[in-house]
Amino acid sequence: MENKNIKKITIKVEGSEWEHALDHAFEHANANAKIDGFRPGKAPKDVFIKKYGKESLYMEAADHAMNDAYVKMLQENADLELVAQPDIDLSNVDENGVEFVFTLTLKPEVKLGKYKNLGIKKDEVKVTDEEVDNSLNQTLQNYAEISVKEGAIVSGDTAIIDFEGFKDDVVFEGGKGENYSLEIGSNSFIPGFEEQLIGLKKGDTKEVKLSFPEDYHSEELKGQPVVFKVTVNEIKEKVIPELDAEFFEDLGMEGIDSKEALEKQLRENLIARKEVDSENKYIDQLLEESAKTVEVDIPEIMIDEEVTRILGQYEENLKMQGLNLEQFYQFTNSDENALREQMKEEAINRVKYRLMLEEIAKVEKIEITDEKAKEEALKLASKYQMEEEEFLKLFGGIDMIKYDLQMRGAIEVMK
């Protein structure tokens, strides 16, 4: 079945243009030619052709002619919207000329369905007193000081411990640590380990008996009973600050000098965060609902390119965690092909949403002026504390600002 998103265009280079390409190929080839009686580059063209044949110039001449053919193809088809670099095949070459076949992947036709009055409501944003209390407690936790403690370990303390693990009275690999800082209640150790340290004091030792989880990554240890010999070297506790003048000074938030003022600010922060989340969820639901009625045949190359983009974003996120893709593949017993396959559905949705919004912008005649785009660029540059030129370079230029505003305008139409 013919793919209507694929178009093949044949461009011929012949006559004087082909002769020019052949001359160029001759000059290049002649510079290294070994012909009796002539220094390199000095043999006449007819002598060179007699020895090597005119056909020896064809491929070099075709390479030289390809760029002109490409430009000609673009000029003659300026009305076509391409979504990928064209594939180029040399279909024929002889003394009369060269023929190229360009395979173009065109932007697919999009048939919109229902994209207005979709019956989706944005979640109402509410912030409870409990959420404000939790945010206040978290703020106090963030400013807590750690100090050495006398007495027994309780949940929330940090125990500085030496430990060594034994399975069947034999030390197992990776089960030993010295002066290890373990926050009790963080659940960062094997289930049951931290709880058994509660009540111990500095200098105490204990044999902690437990079993590794059934899903533990080590085949040798999963589900196996083990014993850790633990010594407590030191105990530290968090000292939560008082809500006094010193704390508010350390906090450094303008106009915040009381518990009431801080709670008010925390409530506003929670509301702002929830409003962003609510808006994002609302837009996602609009796109998902409208896309159900859209008809579009997405070229495979657009999906592949989007998968590559998602993979790049995923790799950047891994780097922020101190990992790379090769380590990820080792940990998950996976590879790039498997990861790309997992990302394919998201890539299809992203491309479909983008094509749908572009079509809505076209149908609704949403156009962005240079003046409006420049105004937006200045606003965003100021927001991110950057010079306008630097911001535009990072964002992709004024055309990307226009595109972004156009897509946002299309979303507004859907609301």
Rounded to two decimals, the pTM is 0.71
Look at residue 111 and tell me if it is in a domain: no
Written as six digits, the tokens of 44 are 């006449």
Shared-domain flag, residues 279 and 369:
yes
Compute the distance between CA of residue 39 and CA of residue 41 in angstroms, rounded to an integer.
6
Shared-domain flag, residues 232 and 289:
no
Task: Report pLDDT for 398.
Answer: 93
Q: Which amino acid is located at 298 in the chain?
A: I
Look at residue 331 and tell me if it is in a domain: yes
In this structure, what CATH number is given to the domain that contains residue 45?
3.30.70.1050
Shared-domain flag, residues 232 and 257:
no
Shared-domain flag, residues 172 and 233:
yes
Shared-domain flag, residues 210 and 256:
no
Look at residue 117 and tell me if it is in a domain: no
Compute the distance between CA of residue 142 and CA of residue 288 in angstroms, rounded to an integer.
39
Q: Give tens-digit pLDDT for 196-245.
A: 999 999 999 999 999 998 888 788 888 999 999 999 999 999 888 999 88
Task: Report pLDDT for 1.
Answer: 39
Shared-domain flag, residues 333 and 384:
yes
Domain boundary among 79, 106, 133: 106
Task: Report pLDDT for 119.
Answer: 92
Which long-range contacts link 200-207 to residues 24+ away (Cβ below 8 Å)?
A: 200/152, 200/153, 200/159, 200/230, 200/232, 201/151, 201/152, 201/153, 201/232, 201/235, 202/150, 202/232, 202/233, 202/234, 202/235, 203/231, 203/232, 204/231, 204/232, 205/229, 205/230, 205/231, 205/232, 206/230
Specify the number of domains making up the chain: 3
Look at residue 130 and tell me if it is in a domain: no
Task: Report pLDDT for 222.
Answer: 87
Q: Give tens-digit pLDDT for 279-325.
A: 999 999 999 999 999 999 999 999 999 999 999 999 999 999 888 89
Shared-domain flag, residues 313 and 406:
yes
Look at residue 314 and tell me if it is in a domain: yes
Compute the distance between CA of residue 265 and CA of residue 257 in angstroms, rounded to an integer.
11
CB 294 within 8 A of CB 363: no
Domain boundary among 55, 83, 106: 106
Look at residue 116 and tell me if it is in a domain: no
Task: Report pLDDT for 125.
Answer: 95
Shared-domain flag, residues 14 and 157:
no
Q: Tell me which residue range forms the domain holding 165.
A: 145-239
In this structure, what CATH number is given to the domain that contains residue 224?
3.10.50.40
Shared-domain flag, residues 295 and 390:
yes
Shared-domain flag, residues 187 and 284:
no
92: Cβ contacts below 8 Å, ≥ 6 apart: 98, 99
Shared-domain flag, residues 67 and 185:
no
In this structure, what CATH number is given to the domain that contains residue 290?
1.10.3120
Per-residue pLDDT of the chain (415 residues; tens, 9 = 90+): 357 889 999 999 999 999 999 999 999 998 888 888 788 878 898 999 998 999 999 999 999 999 999 999 999 999 999 998 899 999 999 999 999 999 999 999 999 999 999 999 999 999 999 999 999 999 998 888 889 999 999 999 999 999 999 999 999 888 899 999 999 999 888 899 999 999 999 999 999 999 998 888 788 888 999 999 999 999 999 888 999 888 888 888 888 999 999 999 999 999 999 999 999 999 999 999 999 999 999 999 999 999 999 999 999 999 998 888 998 888 888 899 999 999 999 999 999 999 999 999 999 999 999 999 999 999 999 989 999 899 999 898 999 999 999 999 999 999 9
Look at residue 129 and tell me if it is in a domain: no
Look at residue 301 and tell me if it is in a domain: yes
Compute the distance between CA of residue 103 and CA of residue 95 in angstroms, rounded to an integer.
25
Domain boundary among 176, 208, 239: 239
Shared-domain flag, residues 257 and 403:
yes
